[in-house]
Structure formats: C-alpha cells, structure tokens
Structure 1
C-alpha cells in the first residue's frame, strides 16, 4: 500500500474494485470462517457474484436500494458485498425493529427489495420468527402499492407463504445461475454505498447517506493504524446492520487481506471468547459491555490456562471503558494494544483513535488522536465557526469522511453540517457531533461533559458492584438529580433501608432469591455507595436515587439504552409515582412500552452464562 507522509493514501476506488484487487493479491488466503465453513478470497468473490446475478434477476440495477433484516451470518455478508459490487445501495435494518418500524424504514429508503431472515437471532434469546414483519410488509404492499418492494426470505427451514413479489433465497440463486453480469463502469467512489440508520440510544433514527469513498477509506485507515496484514484474524462482534460491523470488521479486514471469524449470529460472549481463543484472533472490536462480559467468563476453567497475548490491536467504541476496569482487562485479556475510539455513523464512523504506541494514560483518559484524512476541531457551542484554543471545552466538529446528509431530511442535515471557507477559497464541511470535548497540546481528544461516567467509574470501584449506569432524573427543586441503576455481584446481599425516603427501589425479579441464597459475608447498601461517591466527588454528584436491578437494557450493539433507564426512573420518582410493583406489572404486560422496565433489562449483553 502506497504511503504518504506515513499515512495511507486515499483510495480513489469503489469497494467492488478494491475487493477485486484484494482477491487478485490474496486469492488463496482465508477471508471468512463461519463455523465449519471457510471461504478464501477467491471463494468470496465467486459467491458474491452469485448473489449479484440474483440481484439482476430481480430486475435491480445500480442506484436501487436493497434493505436487509438479517442476522450476523454468511448470507448477510455475501449480500452486503454483492450490493457494493453492483452499485446497489445497501440499507441494513436493525433486527430489533418492530413491524411498524420496518415498514416505515422500507418506505423511507424507497427499498426495491428486502432480504429478510426466516428467523432472526437475538442475543441470549431463542431465534424470533419474522412472520409478523413479513405480514406487515405484505399488507403495506397491498395498500395502493404503498410499498413497491420485493421480498426475499433467507434461510427458510419450512414452506413459506411465497406470494407475488416474494422469493426464497436459495431458489432465487439457482434460478439466476445463467444470469449475465455486467460490470457497472459508471459507478464512482463518490457514489452512495449505504444508507445506515443511526443507532444511538434515542428513539429517533435517521438514515445516514455514506459513499464508497467514506466507508472504504475509514476502514482502510483504521486497518492501517492497527498494522493489519493478511496474517491477522478479526473477530466479528458488531452486527452487520451497524457501521462498526460493516466498516471496522468487514471492510477493515478486506482492505488488507485479513480473515474474519464469525462464530455466532448474535452477540454470544461465550461463543465469541471461544472463537478468539481457537482462531487466535488478533484484532478485537466492541463496546465496554462486551469486554466486561468476556472478563466475567475468564474465571471459567476452560480459559484458566489460555494466554491471550495473540490479541494485539483493536478498539473500544461507544464510550471509553472505565479506568477502574482497564488494568484488569489488560492483565487478563491482553488489551494493551486496544484503544478507545470515537466517532459516529455520520463520520463513517471513526474520527479519533488511541493506538498501542500511545501512553497508557492517554489510552485510558482520551479517545486518541485524529486519524489520517479526518479533521477534528473544538468549536464554541454558540458559534460553530469559532475554533477554541487548546484545553478549552466546546463542541467536537469532524470533517473529512463525513456523511453526505440525512436522507430526505434537509432540515436535520442543515442543523448537523457547518460549512467553512478558507482564505484560498477551499470549502470544508464540518459535522457537528453534539458532544462536548477538548483537545490537549499533543492533539489527543477527550470527550468531556460526561459527569455521569465519572460517577460510574467511582461506583465501579466498589467490589460488590458488578455494573452500574447513571442517568439524570427530573427533580422539582434542582431540575435534575443523579439516579444510579446498580447490578450487585451474585454473592452480595443488598440491605435496604426501612426509611421510605431513602431514595432506593429494588427492581430485581430475583430479589427474594438473592436474599435467601447469597453469601451474606458481603453486604451492600445504598448508603455505602453514596459514601464511596461522596469521598471522591462533589456533593451534587452523589446519587439521590439508587435502583437495584438484575440487568441493564442494551441495544443489539451493546450500548446501554440510557433513555429507557431515564424513563423508568422518572416514572418512579415523579410526584405521582407508581410503585415498583405497579411498574413491574405494567411493563411485563407492555413489553414494547417506552422504558420496557424489567423485561428490557433482560436484554443485557453482558449476561454471558
């Protein structure tokens, strides 16, 4: 790979052209391992061509949109690459979407075809049938042609209601075997590659428009910074509807001829840790809850004598891992070369990253420095055109590989993008992150304004606490106060105060069992936790409300859904608050309600048993 000033040159090609180049160079090298199935790069090229033929058989062409609702499996990977090869725009949907959300998303992106699994894998649950989703799409198709979308069902294990405009995937592949492939010569690097719905922890996703240039170069730069070679093995932890899964695993591995290990269709901490061990994975990616899940599993006898020193690089995304856990992870899982990364779907996604060569203190306390071909500056919150000085706090702005905009939403695009013009007339498009941060004299970026993470870090230093998430809750007097949702460790007994004004609520379904079976040699109280925080932080950072829980609600990518915790907390502390029993009863009956309460908590990614 050509280097310019110690950094990789921008790739001025499409993803399909890049894949062809890699196939030519690494044809017999392993590209992906899924269970017993192993594909070389030549195999990958041939298999994706079969899917390209199927897309053409359906009458699709460059610029059309294909949506997917699929698990993390080989068919999803092949469909993704087939779209990129043919110039068809990929719009992967979150498998957790409801029927209403799926129909709305398909209509929003104007999907010409929807690939949907017969079932969908969900972390730590039985596979879910997609029949309700398909029925909703069929119904939308029949209403004045409101949804002109063909449906392809993948991995059907039983006869399915294949009606008009509906196909079974393997049957479609066979029928398209003689279809001619015409290479799209008009496809350019700046052509749209994918429409990715934002996966933040709010409930208002928007479709982000990203080009081949955006995501291919972000993948290539990160892969280069991690020192990737064709000898490396990536572990597939992030779902393939997510920017992290597509860019930082699929494409990052491909750009340097490395292999991907895909041991499970949804996050399964044990299956992934076994694959990391057996395939001797070298590059890890994930969010803090995933690393915490692996840490819990390292106490199992099967991992007692394994040396994880083959792990040499990767990233921790979503939020920096708590410093109190970092040292333990370094010792047990050899994460010395794995650094924090910062970015968002709109920035393709990585903007900054901490590397193995950076000082340990920087890897723990910052999100690293700006990656090549991206730019980061700190601007005044009230004036995004005014750049602040070193050490000043302001809004983080990103330029370079940023989105074209939000699909059919000019208002939100204009709010997010700021254009500046230099003296030489050069125009730069800056993406407003909405995050507060600062940059030090060495160029390392810190995400500040995260008081809640400081509180979490201090509370996690209590040995009796397994996990904690802090949110702001409404308060009539102060406007907002601190609320902490705490998971005690299994051998801990929670001793609750008899004072009704203690500000604690037990939301654990297993609370009674825990009291009778726990090792009473270790006790935990709300007062103890408040004292821990009070000893190290300011008075206003001490949690007024503490909620004891079994689990924390997670997105499918392992991010804690703080808006659900906030909704649940506010419903309990409001002046006309419901009781915990009432909240439990209501939320069990209404599992799709705004906060999903205890049913939502059971989605915790880090329950790796």
Structure 2
C-alpha cells in the first residue's frame, strides 16, 4: 500500500504575499471577501490596499519578522486581514480557538510567545477582554503597546476589534499607524522572506492534553491551496465559495482564504460562528457555487425546517471534511443541495491540511465511500502498526504521509515532533486507513482515541485530567459515543470515591467556563468499574460499546 501523487504540477516557491499580489493584478475588481452577516464586501484591490496598511501598522507598533501574533476571534473580516497582513510582514499568525477559556489561552500564548493578541471585546457569552485579564491583570493599568505581564512575559500589544478598552489599541489605530517609512520597511521585509519560513501556527490538541502548535510555512499552505483549487477544477472564472467553517481551522483559512489568494475565488463567510440558517441564506443570496464545511454543518443545513425555501440552484460542488463523513450525508448533499460535484477531502492540520481528495467527476460510490486520491507532489503509505512493514492493498494499517505538505514541526517541541515525523520525514497520521488498487483511500478509524465532535478534535485525556480535579471523582474515562448530528458526542464514565454521591448536573456545572463548551461531556455515566485488559489497561473500545448500549444510542 503505497501511492505517489503526480509530480507534473511544479511546486510554487512563492510567499503568501507574492501569491496575493499576482491575483490582485489579475482580478482587481472581483469580490475577494464577503462577510454576509456584517455587510462587509472587499474587492481584491481594496483588500490588498488594507492588507498593506495593516501590515505597515503592525510594523509601526514595533512588531517585526518572526514575532508571533495571536488571532482569537470568530469569523470576521479582521481575521482574514490579519492573516495576510502578518504574512506580508513575516509575522507568524497563531490561530487561537475563539472558544478557549482563560487557562487554555494562557497556555498557547506562553507556548508560542505571542507578542501581540487580537480579539473582539466580546462575542455571545465569550468576554475576551475579561478572560485575558484573568491571566494578565496588568492590562487595565497599561499603556497600549506597553503591557508588562508577569504570567504572559512576551505579550506587549493587545488590539481590539470593536470598543477601545484600557491597555489596548483599536484596530482603526493600527490601520492609521503606518507611514511611508513603515511602507518602505514592509517592502524591504517582503523581499527578505523565504517561502520555507514559518507563517502560521495552528493549535491542535495533544494526546497529552495540552495543545500543540503545528507550524506551517508559506510553501506548505501556498502549495496545498494551489493543489486544492486545481483538484476542484477552479479556472479563471469567478467561483463564489460559501464558508460556514471557522477560520481558526485549516479548512477555512487554507481551503478558503489561501485558495482565494491563489485562484481568485471569492469567499462568502455566512456568520461569525456556524448557523445552518445563515449558511443556506448566504449561499442562496450570494449565488455561491461551492460550500466548504464539516459533515455536522451539512447535516444541520439539511435539517433546517425551512430548507426547501432556499434557492440553491447556483451550487455545483463543495468540500466536506474535518471528520469522518457518513456516505448518506454525501448523497443528501449531492442530491438535495444541488452539489453534484461535492467531494470529501481528508487531511490533518500537520499536513497543511489536505492530502487526499475526490475528483468532482468521480462516481458517487467513490465520492461517498472513500476520501479520494492522493494530491500531487505527495506520497502516502499504509504501514502495519505491529510490524512496521507495508500493508498489502485493501488492508488496514496506519496512514503515513510525506512531501511538501508536512509541517515544519510542533512549535518549540522537538520531542513531540519526533513522535510523529520519522527521520525519513514521514508524518504518522495516527489514522487507520486502507488503499485500493486505484489509489483511493478509505479511512477506517483512529489509532488514538481522539473524539471528533462536529469537526472539533477532542482529546479524552484533556477532559479526563480536568475532571480528575473534581473532589468527588476517583477515576474517569472519556469516550466518544456515536451521534447522528455531531458524528460523535462526549461521554464521561466516572467512578466516584466510596460513600460519595454525585450527579450529572454537578459535573457539567463544574466544567462550565473552565473548559471550552465543545469539550463538556454530553453524557455523564457513573460506573463501578471499567473493562480491563489482562495487563490492567482500560479497553476504551469496549467501554464505548458498553456506553452506547447503556445510553441506547
């Protein structure tokens, strides 16, 4: 089981900024970005102008090439503005999940040494400024740009997107800060950038419980975006892509925005966080030809009570990815949403992200039951995890990937990096898969016990470690149980100390505001013991089966 993608499409050696420049020259008056709910529209020319201004502004605030800037926000225009402004100035963008609470935020800022952090003051129940204050009480008394924090020693600049608060710059001030000397500095910096330098840190939760910063270069994401657009068949014409998926994941930031920068497609962002209704409404009103989303997002769109009232006749295709896709969902997307060319994409953050993808012209069977074929300039093999030997065709084993798409490594974590990247530069995905004689790949399951809940990767260890801090909990095991909407839901199996009484409500209340809402267990089951192996290890797959039976799923 070994495949090698064609190498007749040359790899690009351009930086993100150079790619955008070229596309702006080709399509200056085409819409690059639409933020439907916020009423924001930018042509390529207008966007490029604001990217330059923002990049010069960041340099004026004292940021320089190689510094890290954290972007902690739901989907809005400033997210994409910062994505390209930082790339232009050689500043490394760290994508921070907008659901993160104070401790998770503090961990990632410290881990990658963010010098700047950008966020809205608040959104829904998330009060970003107040959360940051928990780790950085000095914020309120600081002058903008002059933060000196004990717990976040690298952080000096905080930029807010709406109201100006003590210790922060408002985004408008950043846009105004750069003068001609900073523009000159920006042009000089752009000249000095190499396409192999890091440009983006994407956090992916680790099996050890703490997030790891997958570090990607210009070359990683520029080439991946180029090959995604080519696989989808994007040409010179104006393709409008609806993106309900979050920007802090690669599906939107690379599959959406980077593809836009390379192929001149237009990105239509439906709402700040996912809403099925908004996704359908924006696709219909903005005449989208494609939609990118996770299976859960498509399930939600299809189950809207007023689904039939949306005119989706402009749709022709799209990408479903982020977690395993039930074949029935693909069939519904193809037939009910007019997305006759819809394909599944498979990848991992560590692979920039896409490595396998269907062809729009493949048979329905192949597009529903496999994740397609390897992308060009990429190799993949299936290895027997027991023996380390190549598995025969159509035989499950661990999927490994090699090529331009493999990340530089986990930020400041050589030991975790060497666990997943071999000396020969093979990346071990931790997924069990098989390859057929035509090179089509099937994803069968995961080596690790990671839960994918609606496209969000949830690592049981992280929740287990947290629940262990509850005074009544003696032992806890977290498993994923099947769920028709989310793919998987989180089930916590808890053993309490003898003589203790504890309720499901008590556990959920304990989690609220301490861990991200998507990590809070949907089910809490109290057990007396766990299924064990002979050597006393807990058998998670057996526990999962028991729980699904117990919960009658």
Is 1:131 matched up with 2:124? no
Is 1:58 matched up with 2:57? no
Distance 1:272 1:202, change over 3 A: farther
Residue of structure 2 equivalent to 1:15:
16
Distance 2:98 2:398 in 1: 32
Any conservation in 2 of the 1:228–1:253 contact (CA below 8 Å)?
Answer: no
Residue of structure 1 equivalent to 2:469:
none
Distance 2:208 2:346 in 1: 18
Any conservation in 2 of the 1:587–1:593 contact (CA below 8 Å)?
Answer: no
Q: How far off its partner does 1:139 sit?
A: 4.2
Distance 1:578 1:270 in 2: 45
Residue of structure 1 equivalent to 2:143:
none
Distance 1:577 1:318 in 2: 43
Is 1:156 matched up with 2:162? yes
Any conservation in 1 of the 2:430–2:446 contact (CA below 8 Å)?
Answer: no
Q: Which has the higher contact order (CA 8 A, sep 6+)?
A: 2
Residue of structure 1 equivalent to 2:239:
232
Unaligned runs of 5+ in 2: 140-146, 453-457, 465-476, 524-553
Q: How far off its partner does 1:334 sit?
A: 2.0
Q: How far off its partner does 1:10 sit?
A: 1.3
Distance 1:447 1:578, change over 3 A: farther
Distance 1:143 1:180, change over 3 A: closer
Structural mapping, 1:491-502, within 5 Å: none
Q: Deviations over 1:519-562 (max 9, x none)?
A: xxxxxxxxxxxxxxxxxxxxxxxxxxxxxxxx86xxxxxx75x5
SS of the equivalent of 1:411 reads: helix
Q: How far off its partner does 1:355 sit?
A: 2.1
* Of 167, 191, 194, the match for 1:188: 194
Q: How far off its partner does 1:206 sit?
A: 0.2
Distance 1:577 1:481, change over 3 A: farther
Distance 2:84 2:128 in 1: 25
Residue of structure 1 equivalent to 2:375:
371
Distance 1:432 1:119, change over 3 A: same
Q: Deviations over 1:258-278 (max 9, x none)?
A: 111123111121111100111
Greater Cα radius of gyration, structure 1 or 2: 1
Is 1:279 matched up with 2:299? no
Equivalent residue pairs, number:
482
Q: How far off its partner does 1:589 sit?
A: 4.7
Residue of structure 2 equivalent to 1:445:
441
Q: Deviations over 1:373-402 (max 9, x none)?
A: 211111121354x32221222110011110
Structural mapping, 1:484-523, within 5 Å: 484=481
Any conservation in 1 of the 2:398–2:447 contact (CA below 8 Å)?
Answer: no
Distance 1:411 1:167 in 2: 37
Residue of structure 2 equivalent to 1:380:
384
Distance 1:262 1:356, change over 3 A: same
Is 1:296 matched up with 2:303? yes
Distance 1:600 1:268 in 2: 22
SS of the equivalent of 2:428 reads: strand
Residue of structure 1 equivalent to 2:169:
167
Q: How far off its partner does 1:324 sit?
A: 3.1
Q: Deviations over 1:417-470 (max 9, x none)?
A: 1133xxxxxxxx1100111111000100111247999xx9xxxxxxxxxxxx9x
Residue of structure 2 equivalent to 1:31:
32
SS of the equivalent of 1:204 reads: coil
Structural mapping, 1:299-448, within 5 Å: 299-300=305-306, 303-304=307-308, 306-384=310-388, 386-400=389-403, 401-420=405-424, 429-448=425-444
SS of the equivalent of 1:419 reads: coil
Distance 2:507 2:250 in 1: 35
Distance 1:593 1:578 in 2: 23
Q: How far off its partner does 1:282 sit?
A: 1.2
Structural mapping, 1:547-566, within 5 Å: 560=488, 562=489, 565-566=490-491
SS of the equivalent of 1:337 reads: coil
With the length of structure 1 as denominator, give the TM-score of the two structures. Answer: 0.72
Is 1:76 matched up with 2:79? yes
* Of 465, 476, 494, the match for 1:571: 494
